[in-house]
């Protein structure tokens, strides 16, 4: 196998994001349902026999040493593989958005190179390597929507119903580190106890409709208040969506925000796509649908 083309790297939304504690090493402990959406980057990866790793930007220019290259180097070093790759990436997911775009690119790179180089690493081994690159990478390698805990390494797969979401990214991007260090960040939200099924939930005292509550907007994003304080555009975007869909919430550490729309895109007086064309200068947005799983999920089974 010499090349793999049209590989999708989907973004994700955090349906809620609670900070439930902090470890002694300073890392924050989180609880969040991660749901993949159909806003995705596209990668084409070609095998090289000389061991070199190169990235080629087909759209907006990325940093010289992005997560794709770091992921490829990490897999090359850990596996002892002498092959290389040309990684072509067409960036669609906005960066600095809290949508996991860079982590998803890294995960797709690892999944593709695992196949292209004939390594046959199991999913768990790829995820362990991915965690060293970023807290969101194991989620995308896992291939399923998931209730995520710890610092991103504890994944409980969940079956999330297909939903439509209006997603808007303001012009400003937010440094994740600054948001987690902000004095307004709440770090002691009470942890949610999640069990495996409605039947188990009923026996343990948790409402049997816990999943439906998640879908309907349970909880909050504890990073949202710091982000709004740091960046007024986040508050403006939240208001813009709430005025149209009756709800809005930030994803990740921002600055992208989203609204739950329903099981399908709404029938509005105006075309939603046309509405997004009227966004303030520098903002981007689109109507998205949740995915049942990662397009490359089967590659690490």
Q: Which residues are catalytic?
A: 12, 136
Nearest CA to 288 out of 273, 267, 277 is that of: 273
What is the per-residue DSSP string for the chain? --EEEEEEEEEEEES-BEEEEE-TTSPEEEEEEEEEEEEEEEEEEEEESS--EEEEESSSPPPTT-HHHHHHHHHHHHHT---EEEEEEE--SPSSSSS-HHHHHHHHHHHHHHHHTT----HHHHHHHHHTT-TTHHHHHH-B-EEEEETTTEEEE--PPP-EEEEEE-S----HHHHHT-TT----PPPP---SSHHHHHHHTS-TTHHHHHHTT-S-BTTHHHHHHH-HHHHHHHHHHHHHHS--EE-TTSS-EEEEEESS----SS-HHHHHTTSPTT-EEEEEEB-SB-TTGGGG-
Structural contact between residues 151 and 28, judged by C-beta atoms closer than 8 angstroms: yes
């Amino acid at each position: 196998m010499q090349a793999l083309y049209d590989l999708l790297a989907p973004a994700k939304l955090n349906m809620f994001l609670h900070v439930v504690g902090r470890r002694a090493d300073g890392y924050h402990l989180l609880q969040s349902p991660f749901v993949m959406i159909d806003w995705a980057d596209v990668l084409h990866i070609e095998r090289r026999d000389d061991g070199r790793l190169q990235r080629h930007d087909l759209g907006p220019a990325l940093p010289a040493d992005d997560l794709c290259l770091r992921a490829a180097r990490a897999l090359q070093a850990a596996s002892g593989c002498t092959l290389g790759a040309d990684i072509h990436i067409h960036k669609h997911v906005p960066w600095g958005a809290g949508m996991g775009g860079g982590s998803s690119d890294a995960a797709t790179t690892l999944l593709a190179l695992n196949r292209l180089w004939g390594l046959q690493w199991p999913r768990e081994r790829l995820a362990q390597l991915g965690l060293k690159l970023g807290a969101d990478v194991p989620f995308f390698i896992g291939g399923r929507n998931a209730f995520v805990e710890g610092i991103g390494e504890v994944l409980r797969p969940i079956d999330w119903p297909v939903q439509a979401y209006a997603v808007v990214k303001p012009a400003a991007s937010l440094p994740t580190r600054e948001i987690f260090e902000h004095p307004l960040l709440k770090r002691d939200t009470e942890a949610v106890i999640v069990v495996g099924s409605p039947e188990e939930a009923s026996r343990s005292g948790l409402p049997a409709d816990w999943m439906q509550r998640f879908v309907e907007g349970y909880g909050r994003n504890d990073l949202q208040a710091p982000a709004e304080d740091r960046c007024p555009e986040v508050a403006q975007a939240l208001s813009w969506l709430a005025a149209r869909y009756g709800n809005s919430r930030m994803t990740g550490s921002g600055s992208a925000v989203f609204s739950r729309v329903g099981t399908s895109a709404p029938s509005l007086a105006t075309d939603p796509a046309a509405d997004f064309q009227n966004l303030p200068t520098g903002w981007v947005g689109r109507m998205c649908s949740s995915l049942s799983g990662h397009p490359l999920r089967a590659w690490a089974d």
